[in-house]
Every structure is written in C-alpha cells, then in structure tokens.
C-alpha cells in the first residue's frame, strides 16, 4: 500500500498529553499533602522573664495536659519516645540543632521529668524549655 501523506504532514514526535496529565496530578498531590502537613496545637506556655528567641534548626517536643507527647507535631506513644529521641540526638550529632520542650502549664510533672530523663539517657547534651514572654502571658 502506498503512503499518500506528504512527509511534512507526519507527526513523528511523542504524545505529551499523558506526561502533562501526570505532572498536574503530582502537582495536586503535593499541594494537598502540604496543606495537611501544616498542623499545630496552640499551647499556653508558662511565662519567664529570662526567655530568649531561638534561631537555627529546632526540633520540638510538646507535652500536652493529658501527659501525651508530640514530636514536631506528630503524636508519639510513651513507649516509642526513647527511639524517637535516639534518632533526634543522632541527627543532631551530624547536623547541630536545638531540642525544645514545649509543655502546657497543666501538664503532669511526672511526664516532664520522664522526657528530660530520656533526653539525658540518650546523650542529649542540652534541651531547652519553651516559655512565653511575660507580656504575652498577661493577655
């Protein structure tokens, strides 16, 4: 059979429509994933006059009023906190950073002592405790 189409009319290039579809689907996925990743819990921190702002890389552990823990916004079971802190301390030895404990004012003291003890046992040299500025606490 003869090909009656002119050579310039042929479309030999790849079809980019599926590639564009995939790119748009990935874009939508990452936009939705980013919106779910931004979660936080506002805590009323106790006031302190000697508090200073932090800069640099910060990893935060939150202690809630019921004694549960959040590490960078992700809930961590009490039985898993040791493994999580080991990973944080190991990572800080490669890339220095600061470990900050944000405890709600009504949090149990026992849980506070537990987390401080775990950080010390895993080789954490320094853990900062977050506070609110005195003028913020008055409001």
Q: What is the pLDDT of residue 92?
A: 82
Top-tier CATH class for 58-138 = alpha beta
Pure H helices in the chain:
17-37, 81-94, 109-121, 134-138
Segment 26-36 mean pLDDT: 85
User: Mean pLDDT, the chain, as a whole number?
Assistant: 78
- pLDDT, tens only, 81-134: 889 988 888 888 888 888 888 888 888 888 888 988 888 888 877 777 777 666
Q: Whole-model pTM?
A: 0.56
Collapsing DSSP states into helix, strand and coil, what is residue 13? coil
Residues 81 and 43: their CA atoms lie apart, in Å, by 20
What percent of the chain shows pLDDT beyond 70? 71
Q: What is the pLDDT of residue 130?
A: 78
Please give the helix or strand (H or E) that residue 74 lies within, else none: strand 74-76
Statement: residue 60 has pLDDT above 80: yes
CA distance to 7, 80, 89, 94, 122, per residue, from 76 (Å): 65, 6, 16, 23, 17
């Amino acid at each position: 059979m003869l090909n009656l189409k002119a050579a310039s009319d042929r479309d030999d290039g790849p079809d980019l429509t599926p590639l564009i579809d995939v790119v748009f689907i990935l874009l939508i996925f990452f936009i939705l994933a980013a919106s779910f990743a931004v979660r936080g819990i506002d805590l009323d921190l106790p006031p302190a006059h000697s508090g200073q702002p932090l800069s640099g890389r910060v990893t935060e552990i939150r202690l809630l009023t019921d004694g549960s823990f959040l590490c960078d916004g992700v809930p961590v079971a009490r039985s898993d906190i040791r493994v999580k802190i080991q990973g944080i301390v190991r990572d800080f030895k490669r890339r220095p950073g600061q470990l900050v404990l944000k405890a709600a004012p009504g949090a149990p003291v026992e849980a506070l002592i537990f987390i401080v003890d775990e950080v010390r046992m895993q080789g954490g040299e320094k853990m900062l405790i977050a506070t609110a500025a005195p003028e913020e606490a008055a409001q």
